[in-house]
Amino acid sequence: MDYLEEFPVLIIDDELHSDTAEGRSSREIVKELKKEDFPVIEALTARDGVHAFLSHPHVSCIIIDWELTPEPVDGMFTARDVITLIRERNPKVPIFLNTEKLAISAIPLSVISRIDGYIWKLEDTPGFIAGHIKRAAKNYLADVLPPFFQGLMDYVEEYRYSWHTPGHMGGVAFLKSAPGRIFYDFFGENALRADLSASVPDLGSLLEHSGVVGEAEKKAAEVFGADRTYFVTGGTSAANKIVWLSTVTPGDIVLVDRNCHASVMHAIIMTGAVPVYLIPARNEYGIIGPIHSSEFLPDVIERKIRDCPLVEDPASRTARMAVITNSTYDGICYSAERIEEQLRDAVPYLHFDEAWSGYAKFHPLYAGRFGMHRAETAGPTVFATQSTHKVLAAFSQGSMLHVRQGRGPVDHPRFNEAFMMFTSTSPQYTIIASLDVATRMMAGHSGKFLIEEAIEEAIVFRKKMVTVAEEIRAGPFPEENYWWFTVWQPDCIMDQEAEQPLGEADDLLLRDRAGCWLLDPHDAWHGFDGIEEGYAMLDPIKVTVLTPGIGPGGKMEEWGIPAAVVTRYLRKSGIVVEKTGYYSFLVLFTLGITKGKSGTLLAELFRFKALYDGNSPLEEVFPDLVRQHPARYAGRGLADLCREMHGYLRDKSITETIRSVYATLPEAAMTPAEAYRHLVRGDVTPVPVSELEGRTVAVMVVPYPPGIPVIMPGERCSSATRAIVDYLVSLQDFDTLFPGFESEIHGVDVVTEDGRRIFYVSCVGE
């Protein structure tokens, strides 16, 4: 266990450097620990001790002087307060009190119950005390590792010579060539020796959920609140397909969030299901809103099934499955409890695609807004698929599939057949280990505080953006330079029946009270009409920054700054945002966030403002862009580019266009599975988007922004949905006019003809 030396001991003692008997004894203990290569962190005050713990949460043992001098921090901050704070974040790390035997009777029971023992540094020898500390640290760390990761480490340490796959044999093969040696050095010996195969019986089987893999999945189910959990190494795309292939068969009717991930459409194609769509709201920024609660009413669902031309004998047909994206990409969380209640008798299976909210279980702010919440009464069987790698701490492609049993039967052996369809017989063990570690990180109290830190950092950033805007308006700027970026969030919140600006609200109130983030039907800030009270909530850790250009009600303003220009600048500065819309971009505050990160983003936004206000030459702001397209951009300034791009988007009324594109669904001409069969057989023709009207598409067409399908496989554009054609043509023309800022559109083939970009979509038939 040589890795133990990476876990320091924290000593909080204000006499550590004093020339007293207590100080000399403390220094001797530190000396004994260091003699055995055990690292020590020293803190001389209660405040320093707390900061040291928060910045070194991996400490293996903590020694606290009970006689620490109290400090004034919102009252007097004492050793007792230090213990309370540490225990809230880590209930298991050993804590020893340094005190005198006679003083024990004065220590409160609430403190005694939270510590692991006492140290009498003036009575026992420094060597004895150091050994006691080291023993406690070792015992603590022996239980830190979760089952699969522990087994993987033990195997790698014990079996140094393998005679099984993979062929690089613990990395040895890479050492036989120059590029292999660089690869080996880059990733390191342990990563390559831990790359094992299913030939290792010691580590169990992911396909059979046996051994330490099975233990890890059982622990994950306990931590995430599921009846059963499956580790998925193909991402949530694979997890979604497992859910559908295990429950849906050809011809089954499925209720589908129109804001579904591509993998759900792939599952619909694979199963041959008949989709009936639930329509989400949109606002003027193109931000995806929630599906209105009214969409889940029994009579509305019956009407949708009755009106679907692909359903045979709709009068006698019911839906098999409903899938909801929760939260949305932009951070809208549903009341999962309310949806389950509304769909109680409508479907036996309910699938929440929670790729972006795998942390919701661990903080009370999200109570009732995730699939694995505690259900009071039996409803549909609930599946929750989560991208652990996106929002918690796991390797890419590491996801979890959680099951909460309801009235829809889930037979494990049958379900596992679908699981094996999307799981390699040679799974990547390091992905499994990262899921195992992610589970252990979220277990107990630590999960809440890990998420809480992310929420707190997001709140600080949100409030700072409001403060900066106020300072700019009040500062010595010319009137034309009063602008600043805003944040998509409530303007005001209610606190004890009184309304106050969000920028002035108490941080703890914003952190702990879901009501601060609810989409109130009477508020204008969110831009969604007809939202039901208490139904949807904005997740505070998903921060959408708005750029100038769109006024109240979605009216395009005379001037604006398209977000694509801002995020290109940020990317050049090393800041990569999660998603870019026309006048908005999304940044995520997850477990990996640090205070410096948001400060850097603020600083770069300030720099962009200065460059824009000065109309700095594009040769200085985007030299690569000018170098690649000199005829288009040479001699122009940053403000010139923004003015021209905004003018194009305003002339195309982009806000109205996006709303109209999603207002009416295209005609369902055939099932997605049938359209895909035409594609595979080659019975398709590439059609320019300008000629799509009257054609049935064979693929899903998804423009980014806003990242929502405008048309699904098997759907036909008609005169009623001409807006889809006009929208795709406007994107095509935008790409030609602004090279370097091309649209990302899944489902189209791009061909350059006479200097123009032409979009083609595969359509059924000639």
Asked whether residue 149 is assigned to any structural domain, the reply reads: no
Mean pLDDT score, 509-522:
94
Report residue 36 as tokens.
Answer: 């055995």
CB 658 within 8 A of CB 282: yes
Nearest by Cα to 712 from 279, 241, 234: 279
Coil, strand, or helix at residue 488? coil
Residues 492, 375: one domain?
no
Q: At what angle do helices 638-651 and 563-572 cross, to 10 degrees?
A: 140
Residues 494, 625: one domain?
yes
Residues 399, 466: one domain?
no
The rounded distance, in Å, linking the Cα atoms of 404 and 374 is 9
Asked whether residue 307 is assigned to any structural domain, the reply reads: yes
Pairing of strands 749-753, 756-764: antiparallel
Residues 486, 350: one domain?
no
Asked whether residue 224 is assigned to any structural domain, the reply reads: no
Residues carrying an active site annotation: 261, 353, 390
Asked whether residue 197 is assigned to any structural domain, the reply reads: no
The rounded distance, in Å, linking the Cα atoms of 316 and 179 is 64
CB 273 within 8 A of CB 248: yes
Residue 274, beta-bridge partner list: 253
Give the confidence band of 1 by pLDDT, cuts at 50, 70, 90: very low
Q: Given this model, what pLDDT does residue 292 score?
A: 92
Asked whether residue 215 is assigned to any structural domain, the reply reads: no
Nearest by Cα to 388 from 427, 360, 426, 422: 360
Mean pLDDT score, 130-152:
87
Residues 603, 709: one domain?
no
**Among residues of the chain, what percentage have pLDDT more than 70?**
96
Domain count, the chain: 4
The pLDDT mean for the chain works out to 90
The rounded distance, in Å, linking the Cα atoms of 574 and 592 is 16
Report residue 525 as tokens.
Answer: 């800030």
CB 391 within 8 A of CB 357: yes
Nearest by Cα to 490 from 522, 450, 468: 522
Lowest average pLDDT, out of 50-64, 119-133, 355-369, 603-617, goes to 119-133
Asked whether residue 417 is assigned to any structural domain, the reply reads: no
Residues 554, 683: one domain?
no
The rounded distance, in Å, linking the Cα atoms of 408 and 350 is 9
The rounded distance, in Å, linking the Cα atoms of 226 and 239 is 15
Report residue 714 as tokens.
Answer: 């098997």
Residues 348, 461: one domain?
no
Residue 576 CB burial class (10 angstroms; 0-12, 13-18, ≥19):
exposed
CATH of the domain at 22: 3.40.50.2300
Report residue 696 as tokens.
Answer: 């049935």
- With tokens 């039907």, the residue in question is 521
Residues 8, 135: one domain?
yes
Residues 692, 618: one domain?
no
Report residue 668 as tokens.
Answer: 């369902």
Asked whether residue 137 is assigned to any structural domain, the reply reads: yes
Q: Given this model, what pLDDT does residue 559 score?
A: 95
Q: 369-425, pLDDT tens digit by residue?
A: 999 998 877 899 999 999 999 999 999 999 999 999 999 999 999 999 999 999 998
CATH of the domain at 337: 3.40.640.10
CB 172 within 8 A of CB 184: no
Query: Residue 3 is which amino acid?
Result: Y
Give the confidence band of 199 by pLDDT, cuts at 50, 70, 90: low
Residues 473, 566: one domain?
yes
Asked whether residue 188 is assigned to any structural domain, the reply reads: no
Domain boundary among 116, 142, 168: 142
**Among residues of the chain, what percentage have pLDDT more than 90?**
63
Domain boundary among 408, 437, 469: 408
Lowest average pLDDT, out of 80-84, 169-173, 184-188, 683-687, goes to 169-173
Domain boundary among 92, 110, 142: 142
CB 445 within 8 A of CB 89: yes
CATH of the domain at 556: 3.90.1150.10
Structural domain boundaries enclosing 295: 234-408
Q: How far, in Å, are 165, 615, 685, 724 from residue 719 at the CA level?
A: 58, 43, 21, 10
Mean pLDDT score, 469-482:
80
Q: 572-608, pLDDT tens digit by residue?
A: 888 889 889 999 999 999 887 776 678 889 999 999 9
Residues 534, 635: one domain?
yes
The rounded distance, in Å, linking the Cα atoms of 216 and 236 is 18
The rounded distance, in Å, linking the Cα atoms of 695 and 424 is 38
Residues 668, 646: one domain?
no
pLDDT over 70 at 101, yes or no: no
Residue 289 CB burial class (10 angstroms; 0-12, 13-18, ≥19):
buried
Nearest by Cα to 698 from 722, 673, 719, 721: 673
